[in-house]
Structure 1
């Protein structure tokens, strides 16, 4: 009797379990009783549909099977074969326009910290995207084209490993029984089924997609030979991630099955998707007809108001916004994030306006909001510049621009928050915390890497024009990141810059820039030289003194070298805990970058080689002093150095300089 009772209880529990009783296997035919781990805006509807994101909220949603899955053989570390299948549907409120897609993932944790929505699909951010330590495998169903991730189009299926730059991708579709390829539109709103299979013995990944009632095609859409043993841990979580942007979009999962060392169970009796549009035709006839005249009046009035507002505020959406526009934030969200832009959240202020710290609602993402004031000298032109330039840049040593907002006369830029603040607060005004030499050199190397990227690796040459310690921000790990691109300019490779307006900060301006107004990568190198001396010496490029005889930092460092002790210029806050040879390299390189003739300054590519010790810096005997400032001998040794390395570094040596214009003309 007792044995029969136990059997009945077991059968009862099995009948209500969301997953099958097999080890590391489960099946959800709808999610009414599903014990899922959800976060973000994901939720389960009463019909049993899993809704990762909806059209009411911009954000991200995650849904995971709550238990860990074993993926590795504990004895030899080999990856088990696994198989999963799921049915999804993506519906946009605007037809062919779509929000971002969804991705099936295998990850070491259920909660994804620091992930961004929008094109990051709720998985990564600009810092960790592509990081090998992520240990994430995914299959993306992507409905937005992202150039920075190398997407093939705006309707594709991709295999992702540790990042969103797919290692294999194909446009969405399937092969029928005659091996004919049929296109699929992922945002059609129709249910589709996906099969993801990994053979542990052959290390083969197959991904197949088809309309729900077609059946699994024989030929997969994607096949990739890949050993997942370095990617997957002993145990992992499996689930889904999705995000939305400015276009309201629903991401549904109707059913899901998974199994290791076997074939995932087929899905059946799935919940029904809600109908497109509304059923209330009779309600419209009953209620809508008496109000037709009112509706027409409202529509006509709205069109007139729209036309008037468009003419009056035409600048609210200009051509540059349509072409370059990153994510546009709602003013209400930024107002909430910064607690009404209250003074307690103020991070800093300057000629451009004020910067506030904020925490975005729902996602809890920390941001910095740069609010440009009405009386700002930078104004619209520099705001446009920053949107266009930094909005397209993704580099670990450049502060990421997440998006922007425009409301009437207010201009706002939204950045990823850099928790350690700007570099200058660690150098000046008796800082409570100073950086040791190792930390400073790491920042210098990072800024050099960022500038090299801007000058040579971007689609366009980007000249920053305002490199200084206050425009270098530090993240939580004290990595240096270039910020404040409000004065930056870009132009195509192989062309010449056209700007003739002198902008920048005294002490960092190159002499030729003050004469011609043209900013070039070489003028950035000059500013980088002043920055090197600034960081190593803990002094500003120009320091007022009581006798009205300003201290010019580059002159002072040169005089220390001329007396045979360049290390005399080192920041006293460093004490004796530094690497003398490395400090001397930075000080010497600062002097070389400060050469008045731009043709004799090293490029940022060469500066990186010097800093990394790949190429030795020449002796400073090439420098000499005159009454007019810092100058260079005709045959002081640097000429031979340039000639000897010109083939490997691409360093052009066009002529031997005579006494040049004063170095100080660029900084006073």
Structure 2
């Protein structure tokens, strides 16, 4: 019988070889849908369909049709296909952009006569948002007349156009390839039919193969086009293209297609592959900064090295090999100890539903006297953490999804975390439209893509340089009476927000949790980029992504004509983004993260008005199968779930309640508690219930939005707000289901005819019975620790 320890060593060595091979190749993202027929289930899990896009599997193999819901004369169509997970285009370590390449086969068909003007075409695009569908016809489903050409679009596209645009300074011929930056007016084009005004070479000619590649070292984008995969039609290299003014760190990839009113073209994708890579020789950009006089002299302290200055290559490989070899040796010594010690026994860590365990591959050795995870030796804590299995599901929950521990995650002791039932993630095969006509956010996956990055340890000198020696002129807020500085990092020019916290106000547990939260990467969460602990000044600095639009509460107070006023579409998109972010915290990580203080002032907006949930000062990490053990009553009056004053235990459902109040506040444009109003109108939740009981729920909508929505659209939004703010926690949906409702993939649950009253806390008829200041800043809010 073979020694299990030796087998494990072999497995670790194979894993090391795989990791080193991957590092050598520099591969960051890769997928290949070579045949949609053989990978249809994967396609439905990985690709989101917006607008008129569809997966068609009738009369032929499954394929992506970019405008498949209305390809008929007299019907203008526009569709968008999005790969559901964002792709990292800017490397965290080297601070340079990666190269990328994509291949796809397509056809363009038109049973009628092609029209030379205003017909349409399709694009391969990379852009910062994953929620918008552009206009039909000459806008190619990419942009709209209102936003075409804006730098805030953060858009790069290669268009395959089949008509001459009406846009001034437009297209060379009806058949051309164009490079579009932030709009459909091409920066440069390749004419497929020079001197032929009625060219239709792209239409009804058969299968085309397109190869698009971008070399980041040369800043060169090339396009090759083949007819029937072998006959070269075009080989074009566009003028030098820098991604710096266009791309964010993370972008979304996909296709758009559109049809004009007088056309009936169909744009079909039959296969698609995509990959990113970085040059193996790329090194970090660390320009030397000029000396800066600063009163901060605590630049040297334990563990405060600048990891971003490390060189990729031999030092990393050698150090990694040595570290893994040392871990293997420690593991072997431990294995020998457990084999000789009869007090150790096998314990199943594969989950509560896996049946009896007899010490197979899913078992680890634990001391029989105390078999809890926190008493394992430190190197084995991560191995011993169980897979997450949900139980006690909501009626809306689909089939459970398992999550395995992530290698390299810092150990978390059982004494520092508490448990919470884990909600499941819905399967959304395709999405039509949300109530106001556009699908707004698609982040939830059947198998969530989770990206864990180590936070950066900054030096105090770096942060002093970034903030002009912590000047009062760059203070952008003072939550919790502690300043938040806007900074610009010297090495890469990135704008950041730097939060100052007094060390005597925080515990080591808080620092550990902050570092764990820093490993979460999601498009709708404020990212913790790094930190700096200055013992001499007794201060901790947390470094976050900078959000130029600030917090949402300030924008909700603006007049309709003010810059930054949020219209109905923008508010709806924000709510979808917040739902996706909270679902990530609740269900897409090994520990469930309870926010505990969901409200507009903790929702931050980037330059494109995308929502980012922040301020995890009250957040707690809990494992997925237990109830939170905290009995500290945290939160903000007006947003706090009614059961919290009685149970003292925050849960995912209490976060859902706070989200429901947020929805009502955003839709109605007023505070949840407003003592300046007559007594019967002070509590927003009661007002919405009363309006619903009287059959006119839309009357409570924000008057500044005027007629930018239908009553049905507003009623749906308010209904999901009431569902989330249901007095009975068991009746509240989970955030995955809320997200699904908001994108149009499900209907909101039915509500009772009148507002329910829970007997266990009937004395608390509404949160309005608890008087406090009407100011948002002091409605029982605790101090903020993060952005």
Cα distance change, pair 375–321 in 1 and its aligned pair in 2 (3 A) = farther
Q: 2:620 aligns with which of 489, 497, 500?
A: 489
5 Å-filtered alignment, 1:536-615, equals 536-545=667-676, 551-615=682-746
Alignment match, 1:246: 307
Alignment match, 2:367: none
1:435-462 superposed Cα distances (whole Å, 9 cap, x missing partner): 1101100111111111112111111111
Q: 1:72 aligns with which of 208, 213, 224?
A: 224
Cα distance change, pair 471–607 in 1 and its aligned pair in 2 (3 A) = same
Report the Cα distance in structure 2 between the residues aligned to 1:631 and 1:436, rounded to whole angstroms: 34
Secondary structure in 2 matching 1:361: coil
1:38-82 superposed Cα distances (whole Å, 9 cap, x missing partner): xxxxxxxxxxxxxxxxxxxx86468966584856257777699xx
Q: CA deviation at 1:600?
A: 1.6
Cα distance change, pair 382–514 in 1 and its aligned pair in 2 (3 A) = farther
Report the Cα distance in structure 2 between the residues aligned to 1:569 and 1:547, rounded to whole angstroms: 15
Secondary structure in 1 matching 2:654: helix
1:322-356 superposed Cα distances (whole Å, 9 cap, x missing partner): 76962111111111111222232222112162222
Q: 1:426 aligns with which of 524, 533, 555?
A: 555
Alignment match, 1:372: 501
Report the Cα distance in structure 1 between the residues aligned to 2:697 and 2:754, rounded to whole angstroms: 13
1:84-138 superposed Cα distances (whole Å, 9 cap, x missing partner): xxxxxxxxxxxxxxxxxxxxxx9996644289xxxxxxx972x32x7458xxxxx
Say if 2:602 and 2:614, in contact at 8 Å, map to a contact too: yes
Say if 1:385 and 1:488, in contact at 8 Å, map to a contact too: no
Report the Cα distance in structure 2 between the residues aligned to 1:364 and 1:485, rounded to whole angstroms: 26
Alignment match, 2:166: none
Alignment match, 1:38: none
Q: CA RMSD in A?
A: 4.0
Alignment match, 1:653: none
Report the Cα distance in structure 1 between the residues aligned to 2:745 and 2:272, rounded to whole angstroms: 35
Say if 1:596 and 1:663, in contact at 8 Å, map to a contact too: no
5 Å-filtered alignment, 1:29-428, equals 60=95, 66=218, 68=220, 72=224, 111-113=242-244, 125=249, 127-128=250-251, 131=253, 231=274, 241-243=282-284, 246=307, 249-250=310-311, 326-351=455-480, 353-373=482-502, 379-380=506-507, 383-384=510-511, 387-408=514-535, 409-428=538-557
1:271-325 superposed Cα distances (whole Å, 9 cap, x missing partner): xxxxxxxxxxxxxxxxxxxxxxxxxxxxxxxxxxxxxxxxxxxxxxxxx997696
Report the Cα distance in structure 2 between the residues aligned to 1:549 and 1:374, rounded to whole angstroms: 45
Secondary structure in 2 matching 1:586: helix
Report the Cα distance in structure 1 between the residues aligned to 2:742 and 2:241, rounded to whole angstroms: 41
Say if 1:366 and 1:417, in contact at 8 Å, map to a contact too: yes
Alignment match, 1:269: none
Say if 1:110 and 1:237, in contact at 8 Å, map to a contact too: no
Q: CA deviation at 1:243?
A: 3.1
Cα distance change, pair 331–515 in 1 and its aligned pair in 2 (3 A) = same
Say if 1:65 and 1:237, in contact at 8 Å, map to a contact too: no
Report the Cα distance in structure 2 between the residues aligned to 1:506 and 1:513, rounded to whole angstroms: 11
Report the Cα distance in structure 1 between the residues aligned to 2:757 and 2:709, rounded to whole angstroms: 30
Report the Cα distance in structure 2 between the residues aligned to 1:340 and 1:470, rounded to whole angstroms: 27
Alignment match, 1:664: 766
Structure 1 unaligned segments of length 5 or more: list them: 1-57, 81-105, 116-122, 134-226, 254-319, 625-629, 633-656
Q: 1:531 aligns with which of 662, 680, 698?
A: 662
Structure 2 unaligned segments of length 5 or more: list them: 1-92, 98-214, 256-269, 286-305, 315-407, 413-453, 771-787
Secondary structure in 1 matching 2:597: coil
Report the Cα distance in structure 2 between the residues aligned to 1:418 and 1:552, rounded to whole angstroms: 31
1:576-610 superposed Cα distances (whole Å, 9 cap, x missing partner): 21232221112122222222221121221221232
Say if 2:599 and 2:658, in contact at 8 Å, map to a contact too: yes
Q: 1:504 aligns with which of 635, 647, 671?
A: 635
Q: CA deviation at 1:552?
A: 1.0
Cα distance change, pair 588–60 in 1 and its aligned pair in 2 (3 A) = closer
Secondary structure in 1 matching 2:307: coil
Report the Cα distance in structure 1 between the residues aligned to 2:588 and 2:220, rounded to whole angstroms: 42
Say if 2:220 and 2:241, in contact at 8 Å, map to a contact too: no
Secondary structure in 2 matching 1:606: helix
Say if 2:410 and 2:516, in contact at 8 Å, map to a contact too: no
Cα distance change, pair 250–108 in 1 and its aligned pair in 2 (3 A) = farther
Report the Cα distance in structure 1 between the residues aligned to 2:650 and 2:238, rounded to whole angstroms: 46
Say if 1:393 and 1:400, in contact at 8 Å, map to a contact too: yes
1:212-260 superposed Cα distances (whole Å, 9 cap, x missing partner): xxxxxxxxxxxxxxx9986599xx998953338527544589xxxxxxx
Secondary structure in 2 matching 1:631: coil
Q: CA deviation at 1:369?
A: 0.9
Report the Cα distance in structure 2 between the residues aligned to 1:596 and 1:492, rounded to whole angstroms: 25
